Amino acid sequence: MKRNWSINRRTFLRGAAGAMMPLPFLNLMEASADTGVKNLAGETAPPLRFLSLFKPNGVHPPSWNINGGTENDFRMSPLMAPFSQHQDDLLILDNMGDFGFSSHMNSTRRFQGGHHGNTKQASMDQLIAGHIGGDTAHRSLELTTEGIFTGQVGCSYISYGPNGEPLPRESDPQLIFDRLFRSPLDIPSKRDEMTSLLDRVRDDAKSLMRKAGTEDKDTLDEYLSVVRQTEKRIEVMNRGANPSPIKFEDIERPPIATNLNEQVETMIDLIALAMWTDSTRCASYMLGNSNSRMVFDFLGITEQHHYLSHFFRNFSRENIDSLLKISLWHMEKFDYLLTRMKSYKDHNGSLLDHSVVLFGSGMGHSDNHTAQRVPTILAGQGGGMLKTGRYLRYSENQELGDLHLSLLQGFGVPMDSFANSTIPLPGLDGGSFNEFRERPFDSWINLSSGKITVQGRLVMSENLDEAKTFYMEVAGKEPLRVDVGFRDFHDFNLAYHVGTPIVLTGNREEKNGQLLMTKVSDLKSVFGKSKPGQKGG
Amino acid sequence: MLPNIRQFLYSICVVGFLPFASSAIDGTPESVSAFLDQYCIQCHGGEKVKGKVDFTTVSVETASTEHFDFWQLAAEMVDYEDMPPEDEKQPSTEERAAFQAWYDSNYVTVAASPGVFQPRRLSTPEYRNTMRSLFGFDLENKVAKAEQTAIEPSLILKLMPTDPPGESGFINDTHAAPLSTVIWDQYAYFSEVALQQLFSPHRHQQLSLMLGEELPNGFEHSDFTQEHARRLLQHFAPIAYRRPFDKKALNKILTPLKPLSGVKLVNALKFEMKTILMSPGFLYRGMRMGKTPGEQQPVDRYELAERLSYFLWEDMPDEELRQCAADGSLNDLEILSAQIERMLASPKAISLADSFATQWLALDEIDDAYNDPYLLDSYKNQPLDFLNYLFTENRPVMELIDSDVTFASHVTASVYPKDKNKLEKYIKPKGIEKQVAPNQKLLLEHTEGRGGLLTMPAVLAMNRGPILRGTWTLRKILGEHLGEPPADVPPIQSTMGGKKLSFREKFEHHRADASCARCHDKIDPIGFAFEGYNDKGAFLLASDNSPLPKGMQSKEKPPENIDASGRLTTGESFQDFEELKDLFLSVRREDIVRNAVEQTLSYALCRKLESHDGPTVKIITTTLLESDGTWQDLFTGVANSLPFRETIFSNDSDS
């Protein structure tokens, strides 16, 4: 594929954390028409890209979930505020997940593997990369922020190779920059420099050779043979080198990141740049391992993320504030990515228009590890693959594998099943889907001595001061407050039933004149199964 | 090419010397061959080669220094009466003694010699440290550090291929790890990255230090002058080469830079510095040393400083050591000793535990013994901190085996139930789920079954089972050359007359086979002495039955009657590991000290020891034994030894 970019101006874009990162003035640049691939009609279309952004440790559901609203008329949740400006480019999916609970390891596998049990197959990003990579210099990028969690290796990977094996990932933006744009012998000026260097060190080695004994000579011979081999490589490259379509020398190396925020924003800059220069068409990026224990000291937080994410058992107002600060930071990075991608013009649109971005977490409730209502958002039109600006709340739990299968097919990968899934997720392109509709149910409260039984919808408090408190909504009455300990929260899987009608029985208490339930003794789901963990649950 | 035995025997037959009436060895090659023919060749020659030992591949010519290892093993076997096997024809006591005498005269009572000089490439950790010392900063790999994740913060360690250990078993023995284009590209990359950083505003301070003047804030490349260039190279080149860089050579580099200024000058400087970083003088050790071919001679003073520095620090000489090299004062034993003391007190001496001891004792195998990184860190740091303490705080060599000092944190405290209260209390910070806290020094006064390296939990856990524990102790601690197990090992019986055999019984039967017994008679008693410790290293014989420490419960049920008793091949009996330890401290003390000396010398010289190193080992060992010497004495002895201070350059420089 012939490419014909030229960059003739240099200026500064805002780089990581306000630092000025010298880059070509890309906003004004427009890739020429022949950068794309021909579509069936013989018209040139820009290449499609896929990238994913993984958020560790689930969410605090009341802050994340959209409750109410319809496909085209909805209000984004508090946690979505940082990227709400991109609403038109988003396809927010709700009711994605399996039918049970998720370990951290499962959540990483589920995110791009369709199902947590799918451990012998490549992840969807890799399957897409294999199909759309074409003759790009890098088939795909697997990126992360954090080291490997050796105790549970699975927590550290979202991208898996052909046999389901975890693929090595890279965390250092400078290393990625160098891999993309500084491959030493790819750059003519670097080749010239190396040639002069080889001349000089050869002279040096030869002058040592004159004074050398046998052993020195053997060593110097070995050294000189490497010098010669390197010269040969350069000759070959000089002869065969096509003039690079874009002068990578003009792109300046980003400075060293001094904190996590800079590290991540620089990496996102690079992802967008790599896509725009068509160095790669596929990237996956983990904002942290799925059980990340990072300490966000630059946000003034001293507790580990994983500890905070278990916000029920480790409840305090400060802890929940810290957890939400971390989650909001994740959301800001998603916003940063989308903004960056929109800033690159690509044919008659932006880079984002010709991409599909998958953002999500692999698990829902971060303390109870539910595998339902798993945060999942798609961004970008994917060249028409997706109809964005909508909120799709499915009537039933949809396995992530269904979503992955439809994306695989959208990218043209010839597959009719992926993981457990054989039916692509409907509705992404604007087609019809089964929308969530609440079935009518009765609600009532029954009081007996010391006990209380109530039928109604279970909800989590939206008041952060009482983030571990639940309420039972009963028509025509004040919601009944449910204050339970960790044991009940855990044993009755309260978080799993949130948003659905249940019959709850427990101890009755009165505090400051307010009726409340303290100890749960029984839970029955009105429509589903009371013991979650299986289909129909 | 030396004639091999088969040819030799053949030639003897032809001229009709055979048969000898008696095979007494009189020191001639013929008599040695006859001895071998009578007792060894049947199983170890030509068509039948047991245990990969083949006498037809080595020479019996006198004064041959080749095949030192081979003959060392053979002499040990004959001397300990391990060979020939019991059911074969046995040499008389005189014949054995004569063979030993022949071996001694050829391989033991040889004159000490420093060995022929070999230049060698810096190992990866040496290169990492050298770059750090030269530039004043580390090349880092950007990765968020979170508790329990494995990260490699060094860009160099991350990107370089793993160094294979050389014949010595140490990775600083890089003679067998040639330069390749892959490594070349990495060196070029590291140089580029380091120089880019050095000239960035971020590294203002380091550049100021190199230039010898505090650069003003906002100093730009365009402010670079000829004077800066001169001072920078004057500073950089001699440190990088670890020896003076003469004025003429400096001027040769500087002259072409004369017309340049500002950014162009900086780019030219970067190129010059990169050239130095890619040159053999930087990448190899000993390349630029002054050499007179054909003579045994002291190494020059810069080489001596460099040897000392890479030995104790795995790093280039620092300013003080460079000064000592410049004024030649390291030749003064008092100054040398003072420098060693200073260097051992420096944090850089941690390399002795992290590299030298870790490679010697194969401590990286601990990594495979723990799944939980939190437990791994806590338990692995124990032997490392302990060894660092022995090495750097002037502790006696034999404290390796027995010491009342250990290092523990809140995680490992429960290993020492009766002493742990002396540890400062660990208070977990709020919101931190797990944390590896630094070790504290702990005096063992009441704890049973601990003290010394061999009973540290991590060391026991990396060697599971009596056979691995016995083999490791023999090889790594006592320095025995066990050779390889024979390929034709009979299967180990697991039942006897319908009765299931215990592990110990299985190996008792196994030892009944003569070819197995040769090693297992030695391995098994020592290995079974550790029966009082489970596979995680917990002590099972505590007198008060205290509960097993955190993370050390074994899946395997401990045997009902733990039998840790045994008898060494040399005759001494013991009831348990404590009694075996007493034997180590008495009758095996010499072996242990000698092995420590051999390992240290081999690491310091970055090569396998040869027969001509024997006298050096002997002198240092004897001194240490007589004075209950310390590790510092040992390091000083090595640094003052003939092979460390002298070398031979081969003569054929014109060939």
Of A150, A172, A197, Cβ closest to residue B275: A197
Query: Is some CB atom of chain B closer than 8 A to the CB atom of A65?
Result: no
CB contact under 8 Å between A219 and B196, yes or no, is no
Residue with tokens 């030992």: B53
Q: Say what the pLDDT of residue A512 is.
A: 87
CB contact under 8 Å between B293 and A213, yes or no, is yes
Residue A171 pLDDT more than 70?
A: yes
Q: Say what the pLDDT of residue A451 is.
A: 92
**Structural contact between residues A297 and A351, judged by C-beta atoms closer than 8 angstroms:** no
Which of the residue ranges A31-40, B431-440, B596-605 would you say has the lowest mean pLDDT?
A: A31-40
**Structural contact between residues A528 and A500, judged by C-beta atoms closer than 8 angstroms:** yes
CA distance A56 to A79: 15
pLDDT digits (tens, 9 = 90+) for A516-536: 999 999 999 988 777 765 444
Residue with tokens 């300490």: A295
**Residue B559 one-letter amino acid:** P
Q: Mind telling me how many Å the CA of B87 is from chain A's nearest CA?
A: 48
Q: Say what the pLDDT of residue B579 is.
A: 96
Residue A26 pLDDT more than 60?
A: no
Q: Mind telling me how many Å the CA of A113 is from chain B's nearest CA?
A: 23
CB contact under 8 Å between B274 and A197, yes or no, is yes
More confident residue, A159 or A186: A159
**Structural contact between residues B30 and B17, judged by C-beta atoms closer than 8 angstroms:** yes
Tell me how many residue pairs between chain A and chain B have CB atoms under 8 A apart.
168
Query: Is some CB atom of chain A closer than 8 A to the CB atom of B46?
Result: no
Query: Is some CB atom of chain A closer than 8 A to the CB atom of B295?
Result: no
Q: Mind telling me how many Å the CA of A212 is from chain B's nearest CA?
A: 6
Indicate the SS3 state at residue B333: helix
CA distance B160 to B156: 6
CA distance A246 to A267: 20
Residue B629 pLDDT more than 50?
A: yes
Mean pLDDT rounded to a whole number for chain B: 87
pLDDT digits (tens, 9 = 90+) for B405-423: 999 999 999 999 999 999 9
Q: Name every chain A residue with its beta carbon within 8 A of the beta carbon of B284.
A: 219, 223
CA distance A425 to B391: 65
CB contact under 8 Å between A200 and B275, yes or no, is yes
Q: Say what the pLDDT of residue A374 is.
A: 96
More confident residue, B117 or B334: B334
CB contact under 8 Å between B653 and A212, yes or no, is yes
Q: Say what the pLDDT of residue B13 is.
A: 38
- Residue of chain A whose alpha carbon sits nearest to that of B277: A201
DSSP secondary structure of B496-515? ETTEEPPHHHHHHHHTTSHH
Q: Say what the pLDDT of residue B300 is.
A: 92
Q: Say what the pLDDT of residue B488 is.
A: 65
Residue B546 pLDDT more than 50?
A: yes
Q: Identify the band that residue A241 occupies on the pLDDT scale cut at 50, 70 and 90.
A: low
Residue A425 pLDDT more than 50?
A: yes
Q: What is the DSSP letter of A163?
A: T
Indicate the SS3 state at residue B470: helix
Indicate the SS3 state at residue B107: helix
Q: Name every chain A residue with its beta carbon within 8 A of the beta carbon of B373.
A: 149-151
Give the tokens for residue B384: 């490392």
Q: What is the DSSP letter of B40?
A: T
Of all residues in chain B, the percent with pLDDT exceeding 90 is 54
Which of the residue ranges A118-127, B27-36, B282-291 would you say has the lowest mean pLDDT?
A: B27-36
Residues 259-318 of A with CB under 8 A from B: 260, 263, 288-289, 292-295, 302-304, 306-308, 314
pLDDT digits (tens, 9 = 90+) for A479-528: 999 999 988 998 888 888 888 899 999 999 988 888 999 999 999 998 87
Residue A35 pLDDT more than 70?
A: no
Residue with tokens 């039955």: B545
Q: Say what the pLDDT of residue B486 is.
A: 65
Report the DSSP pairing between strands A390-398 and A90-96.
parallel
Mean pLDDT rounded to a whole number for chain A: 86
Positive or negative, the CA dihedral B392, B393, B399, B404 is: negative
Give the tokens for residue A262: 């800079």
Nearest CA among A382, A327, A346, A184 for reference residue A272: A346
Query: Is some CB atom of chain B closer than 8 A to the CB atom of A319?
Result: yes
Nearest CA among B370, B201, B336, B233 for reference residue B637: B336
Q: How far apart are the first and last CA of chain A?
A: 52
Q: What is the DSSP letter of A156?
A: G
CA distance A405 to B503: 54
Q: Identify the band that residue B490 occupies on the pLDDT scale cut at 50, 70 and 90.
A: low
Q: Say what the pLDDT of residue A19 is.
A: 36
CB contact under 8 Å between B146 and A193, yes or no, is no
Q: Mind telling me how many Å the CA of A387 is from chain B's nearest CA?
A: 36
Of all residues in chain B, the percent with pLDDT exceeding 70 is 92
In this prediction, residues B303-324 reach a mean pLDDT of: 97
CB contact under 8 Å between A211 and B291, yes or no, is yes
Query: Is some CB atom of chain A closer than 8 A to the CB atom of B249?
Result: no
More confident residue, B97 or A303: A303
CA distance A91 to B424: 55
Residues 161-220 of B with CB under 8 A from A: 178-181, 184-185, 188-189, 192-193, 196-197, 200, 202
Q: Identify the band that residue A28 occupies on the pLDDT scale cut at 50, 70 and 90.
A: very low
CA distance B172 to B186: 19
pLDDT digits (tens, 9 = 90+) for B558-589: 667 888 999 998 889 999 999 999 999 999 99
**Structural contact between residues A273 and A295, judged by C-beta atoms closer than 8 angstroms:** no
Residue B21 pLDDT more than 60?
A: no
Of A149, A184, A260, Cβ closest to residue B188: A184
CA distances from B367 to A40, B387, B409, B453 (A): 55, 17, 18, 17
Which of the residue ranges A233-237, B491-495, B623-627 would you say has the lowest mean pLDDT?
A: B491-495
Residue A42 pLDDT more than 60?
A: no
Residue A420 pLDDT more than 80?
A: yes
- The residues facing B117 across adjacent strands are none
CB contact under 8 Å between B149 and A257, yes or no, is no
More confident residue, B501 or B594: B594
Q: Say what the pLDDT of residue B5 is.
A: 43
CA distance A173 to B175: 35
Residues 120-159 of A with CB under 8 A from B: 145-151, 156
Q: To probe the interface with B, which of A196, A209, A293 has the most B CB atoms within 10 Å?
A: A293
Query: Is some CB atom of chain A closer than 8 A to the CB atom of B141?
Result: yes
Q: Say what the pLDDT of residue A189 is.
A: 83
CA distance B503 to B510: 11
CA distance A427 to A425: 7
Nearest CA among B366, B358, B362, B402 for reference residue B384: B358
Strand locations in B146-212, DSSP E?
149-150
Helices and strands (DSSP H and E) totals, chain B: 27, 13
A351-355, B115-119, B162-166, B478-482 — which one is most confidently predicted on average?
A351-355
Q: Say what the pLDDT of residue B489 is.
A: 65
Q: To probe the interface with A, which of B139, B140, B148, B653 has the most A CB atoms within 10 Å?
A: B148
Q: Identify the band that residue B19 occupies on the pLDDT scale cut at 50, 70 and 90.
A: very low
Q: A203-210 — which CB contacts under 8 Å span 24+ positions?
A: A204/B275, A204/B279, A204/B280, A204/B281, A205/B279, A205/B280, A208/B280, A208/B281, A208/B287, A208/B288
- Residue of chain A whose alpha carbon sits nearest to that of B119: A216
Positive or negative, the CA dihedral B405, B406, B407, B413 is: negative
Q: Name every chain B residue with its beta carbon within 8 A of the beta carbon of A173.
A: 142
Give the tokens for residue B350: 């941690």
B582-613 burial: b if 16+ Cβ within 10 Å, else e: ebbeeebbebbbbbbbbbbbbbbbbbbbbbbb
Q: Identify the band that residue A14 occupies on the pLDDT scale cut at 50, 70 and 90.
A: very low
**Structural contact between residues A394 and A435, judged by C-beta atoms closer than 8 angstroms:** yes
**Residue B427 one-letter amino acid:** I
Which residues lie below 8 Å from residue A211, measured CB to CB, with a gap of 6+? B291, B653
Q: Name every chain B residue with its beta carbon within 8 A of the beta carbon of A260.
A: 144
Query: Is some CB atom of chain B closer than 8 A to the CB atom of A207?
Result: no
The pTM is what? Answer: 0.81
Give the tokens for residue A455: 């039928």
CB contact under 8 Å between A197 and B184, yes or no, is no
In this prediction, residues B465-486 reach a mean pLDDT of: 87
